[in-house]
Amino acid sequence: MRAVLMSEPRPALHRIHFSVALRHPVLGVTSRSGFLIEGESGWAEWSPLPSWSREEGETAHRGALETAGNAFPPVIQASVEINTMIPRVAPDIAARMAVAAGCHTVKVKVGDPEGEDRVRAVREAVGPAAHLRLDANGSWDLEQAIRSLEVLARYDIELVEDPVPTLADLARLRRRTSIPLAAEASIRTMEDVIEMRRLDAADVLVIKPQRIGGIVAALRAAELAAIPVVVSSALETSVGLAACLAVAAALPASPYAHGIGTATLLAEDVASDPLLPIQGRLVPRRVLPDLLLGARP
């Protein structure tokens, strides 16, 4: 697969500040804020998470300008299968959220005292046919991860994202578990992708297009990784999710659903036609933030 080339970012035409609340906290994040940027080709989002470094925020800004100023890449997949994501909520709430989403793949946050109970509740709620993946957000050290995965394996786990915080430990863990492992939090630059491949650290790359620098950078990272790729949101509004979806749609079909179903976690959105999954799938498109257009400068 060749990355799609785009021209240099053009100046933004308009910027609109936004702030939206989440229905449930996600690792302490209770709202998302940033700027929607209009360029010659449409709208893009710049909303670095609080945990991102200044350099990552600047990289995300360059990517947003590029997205606003250029057409989305050609589509390979007319619709994209996505997973729903369950935060660290009480097990009964997790089960209800998983069923309500209607997705065939459910990602459950773990790494906290209720992690196993949450996984059990979701598995019982969605049944044996659904794909169940976990995200520990680097909460375990190597030995804790080994013990935890031995326990959680009974729930038929598709893959585990970020069980440990570093690529070196991920490579060690991969040789001690049969559950496929995915790298996300440790992949922040192209150099990280190269290091992941050198260490043979992961079975799957999970990539946030905004953090790595936009659509072209994300496609380049996927090409460098040479392993299956899952495109993941950073809890963006539907405007930002559209860019994530554009990356997923420009990639060859993957055995894994993409993590772009997070509009359901927003208590509000910036568009009257948000990117909400239908039967676990999304169709790639630009999103117009019409609910905020009255705020134009």
| Active-site residue set | 109, 208
Report how far residue 132's alpha carbon sits from residue 155's, in angstroms, rounded to the nearest whole number.
Answer: 8
Maximum pairwise Cα distance, the chain = 56
Q: Where are the beta strands (DSSP E) in 103-156?
A: 105-109, 131-135
The SS3 assignment for 229 reads: strand
Q: List b or e across 147-156, with b for residues whose CB sees 16 or more CB atoms inside 10 angstroms.
A: ebbeebeebe
β-pair type (105-109, 131-135): parallel
Report how far residue 172's alpha carbon sits from residue 156's, in angstroms, rounded to the nearest whole number.
Answer: 22
**What Å distances lie between residue 261 and 52, 150, 190, 192, 194, CA to CA?**
21, 28, 25, 25, 28
On whether the CB atoms of residues 73 and 91 are closer than 8 A, the answer is no
CA atoms within 13 A on the CB side of 272: 4
Please return the burial class of 64, using the count of CB atoms within 10 Å of its CB with bins 0-12, 13-18 and 19+: buried
Look at residues 238, 216, 215 and name the one whose alpha carbon lies nearest to residue 286. Answer: 238
**What Å distances lie between residue 20 and 32, 160, 197, 243, 269, CA to CA?**
5, 29, 37, 18, 7
Which H or E run contains 97?
helix 91-101
